[in-house]
Amino acid sequence: MKRAKFDQASSDLLARAVRDIEKDTDAEIVIVVRGRSGNYRHADYLCGAILALIGLIFVLFSPFEFHTYWVPIDVVLLFVTGAFLSSRSDMIRRLLTAKKFRAQAARNGAAAMFYEAGIANTHAENGVLIYLSLLERRLEVIADRGILKAVPPLKWNHTIFELKQVAHDPEPEKLVKAVHDLGRVLAEHLPPTGENPNELADGPRIELK
């Protein structure tokens, strides 16, 4: 599972990467890794309904004989089983949810985190949020005004496009490498002035539940 790979060792690795990057730039980087950004109860119910329907069709058209009083119980049990399996599987929830919904859930989660983590409140408006949502397989980047003013738009967009590729196969080592690539761009266009305090924690926020 991808979630299991984002352990304490990965957290330390990401924190070290942020510290190293911020030595060469005034930018403040915050990394957030979440197990999921949206509520996928609908996918659980859908999985349960599909399994219950399959079971009902089997009972109705099976050559075997079933006592009618058991049929409702079997259907309910199959529904509960399907819903439970979906609630424990990112893959099932992903398959049963539209890509548009997953993308919006990740964007909403990132936007909320940008303010919740205080990234929007840095004195020089130089905060950058890197938000990886594992179930959705989405990586969102939100930068404050100071970053967007300093880095040319074409270069920024290309850098973020490359960074977002990590979401297709989210591994801690790949994320670290991509963050370092971003760091080089930030160091080039937003070098350290010696007057910028470290306002945001270097350690990543990893919330896998």
- Domains in the chain and their CATH numbers? 2-38+98-207 (3.10.310.50), 41-95 (no CATH)
Q: What is the pLDDT of residue 182?
A: 96
Q: Of 130, 171, 167, nearest to 21 (Cα)?
A: 130
In this prediction, residues 78-92 reach a mean pLDDT of 96
- pLDDT at 108 exceeding the cut of 80: yes
Q: What is the pLDDT of residue 67?
A: 76
What is the per-residue DSSP string for the chain?
-HHHHSSHHHHHHHHHHHHHHHTS-S-EEEEEEES-SS--HHHHHHHHHHHHHHHHHHHHH-SS---GGGHHHHHHHHHHHHHHHHHT-HHHHHHTS-HHHHHHHHHHHHHHHHHHTTGGG-TTS-EEEEEEETTTTEEEEEE-HHHHHHS-HHHHHHHHHHHHGGGGS--HHHHHHHHHHHHHHHHHHS---S-----S-SS-EEE--
- pLDDT at 1 exceeding the cut of 70: no
